[in-house]
Amino acid sequence: MEKDNLKRAILAVCALFIFCTYLYCIFPAFKNDDSPETAAAAYTLGIGHSPGYPIFTMALKTFMTFPAASPAFKSNMFSAVLAVLALIMAYSSAKKICSIAFGGSAYAFGLFAFFTAAFSFIFWNQAVEAKGGIYMLNLLFLTLQLCLAVDLICSYDPGRMNMLFFICGLSMANHWPSQIIFIPVLMYPVFINIKKVSIKNMAASVLLAAIGMSAYLYLPLRAMNSPVLNIGNPSSFGSFWWVVSRAGYSAAKIPFMTALKYQAPAMFSLFAGNYSILWVLAPAGIYGLVKKGYGKLAGFLGAVMLVAVFFPVFINTTSREDLWMQDIFLMPALYIMLLFIAAGAAFIYGLLKRSYTKQLFTVILALLIAAMGFNNFKKNDSSRDFNSYDFGNNILSTADYDGVIFAEGDYYIMPVIYMQDVLKRRTDVKLAITNFLQFGWGAGDFGKKYGYIQYKDGDPEYNVNSIIGYYKDKTKIYKTIFTPNMDSLNLPYGSAQYGLLRVISDGKAGASSSAIFKIYAVARGFDKKYLDNSPVNTYLSSIYAACMVTQAQELQKTGSFASSAELMRMALFYPDTVIAKK
């Protein structure tokens, strides 16, 4: 009993240490992805983009009752909490598998799995940002289901089967595309015990799964109350299904073989690098499980891993620019790989006969984990990364009072949503999200917020023209520099560069000097390591320089040669002129 309490205390200390490490590394505000919207949806009890993430939104809102820090910081902190819980489950699963297959308590191999996962790149990367919390919760649900499935493979228990179905339902209500692919393989433990499953037990399990999925009722119930963030407005059955089924995603289909040529190498690179050289232990783990008579268990875990690889790589084709998304969706496969790595370490350890060889093996593993942690700390320390926060502020600072901004692209839209809906900053600015204006709910939502406009469902050209026509004589109208959807429309207006935005007009110049770039919040600077470690940060920093060049060229055409030359000089040395001083 005392030894068990000591082991629990050690695990608690390890969990606290990892949490503090993540807490140090998390973004001070938000990452330049969906994180601002994720935080805003929870803070306002609103509805984010499809499929709505009801479980995560309600859980994060509950966590936000914690009194300290900003909503954005608490959203990042929640991801770190979920990550630590997932690590504890990794410890428990690895310990159980190693103990079953190789005997002994396997406590050390549980801790080995704990720290190997904690210091791996992609896990750490997602543990420090708000959007990563959705995938951490998904991974936590999967680890719980796998733990229950392993128990059911070893011996049938009705209570565990009920819990397996309930957690499956909860996971479906978090991010169903990531859960539904595992349902067939997770039903394997039920299939092999089918003769022991009573009708009453099966009915109870299905009911519990439905109860877990009932969290989706949050979407129509909240939509009926017109929350400030209400993407898709799922107040009717048709709009509810549109949101949940992700019907609004209509990206151009990339040919399978074209995508496979870069997706497959990226996958192999991730598997070879995420756990450093420790991946070499995975084949030994599979061999050890089979040799010890647990081929059925190894086969089950292998099947889960194959499913986790097959769909992100061979079904969900991704553009080169979005390959980072594939890395995230491969986290479940990496988790199974972790279990095989832990099993491999336990198997090899058992083969060593002399105590000094076992000690040497232990030291080598510890040093490899420490080296991996040191390397990935440099990549994932985001404690001073304000790039997306400052970018959102600067977008709003560009607009005149009561201005209208047509925006496309997450980098432009998400920070502004957080600034306005959470911080209530520059709420005078009217945000028109061009992608949403093709839908009746999107144009209608704009009208509810800012005043009625005439619109037609499915006619973005009419809706954009309607907004511009209504406001063009009342205030300045802008658009972000990335507006492919808007640019494809037949609009009788031109535009001119004005800072980070373009002024929509009948041909008048946007700016007469370089002054607009001098009001932007770049005092913190662009820390070079955040540019080196993040292609998105590099892209954000390049936008400033690109806008300077464009505006300089337009100023030159109007005869403002001094201002044009000044902007060219600023762009030439950007971002070196604002690199954070060490």
State the first-to-last Cα distance of the chain, in angstroms, to the nearest integer. Answer: 51
- Identify which of 413, 294, 414 has the alpha carbon closest to the alpha carbon of residue 347: 294
Task: Please state, in angstroms and rounded to a whole number, the distance separating the CA atoms of residues 419 and 396.
Answer: 9
Task: Please state, in angstroms and rounded to a whole number, the distance separating the CA atoms of residues 485 and 24.
Answer: 40
Lowest-confidence pick of 4-13, 126-135, 445-454: 445-454
pLDDT tens for 484-515 read: 889 888 888 888 899 999 999 765 555 666 77
74 CB-side CA count, 13 A:
19
Sheet holding 404-407, edge to edge: 430-433, 404-407, 477-480, 501-505, 494-498
Q: Which whole number is the average pLDDT over 185-195?
A: 88
Average pLDDT of the residues of the chain: 89
Looking up tokens 């969990």 gives 15
pLDDT tens for 367-405 read: 999 999 999 998 999 998 888 898 999 999 999 999 999
For the range 427-433, what are the long-range contacts, defined as Cβ-Cβ under 8 Å and sequence gap of 24 or more? 428/401, 428/402, 428/403, 429/396, 429/399, 429/402, 429/403, 429/404, 429/405, 430/402, 430/403, 430/404, 430/405, 430/471, 431/405, 431/407, 432/404, 432/405, 432/406, 432/407, 432/464, 432/467, 433/407, 433/408
pLDDT band at 41 (very low <50, low <70, confident <90, very high): very high
Query: What are the E-state strand segments in 395-490?
Result: 404-407, 430-433, 477-480
Residue 495: beta bridge partners? 504
pLDDT tens for 396-441 read: 999 999 999 999 988 899 999 999 999 999 999 999 999 999 998 9
- Can you state the angle between helices 132-154 and 71-102, rounded to 10 degrees? 20
Q: How is 264-320 classified by DSSP, letter by letter?
A: HHHHHHHHHHTTGGGGGHHHHHHHHHHHTT-HHHHHHHHHHHHHHHHIIIIIS---G
Alpha helices in 196-279 (DSSP H): 199-213, 218-223, 237-244, 256-273
Phi then psi dihedrals of residue 565, to 5 deg: -65, -40
pLDDT above 50 for 582? no
Residue 430: beta bridge partners? 404
Supply the pTM of this predicted model: 0.92
> Which tokens belong to 241?
């299904």
pLDDT tens for 43-95 read: 999 999 999 999 999 999 999 998 888 999 999 999 999 999 999 999 999 99
pLDDT of 525: 54
CA angle, residues 408, 414, 419, in degrees to nearest 5:
125
Task: Please state, in angstroms and rounded to a whole number, the distance separating the CA atoms of residues 378 and 535.
Answer: 15
Quick one: how far is CA 383 from the chain centroid? 18
> Which tokens belong to 543?
């936008």
pLDDT above 80 for 531? no
Contact 229, 42 (CB under 8 A): no
pLDDT of 250: 64
Contact 56, 174 (CB under 8 A): yes
pLDDT tens for 259-302 read: 888 888 888 999 999 999 999 999 999 999 999 999 989 999 99
What does DSSP assign to residue 69? S
Contact 372, 276 (CB under 8 A): yes
pLDDT band at 175 (very low <50, low <70, confident <90, very high): very high
As separate numbers, helices (DSSP H) first and strands (DSSP E) second, the chain gives 27, 5
What does DSSP assign to residue 580? P
132 CB-side CA count, 13 A:
32
CA angle, residues 543, 549, 554, in degrees to nearest 5:
125
Amino acid found at 365: L
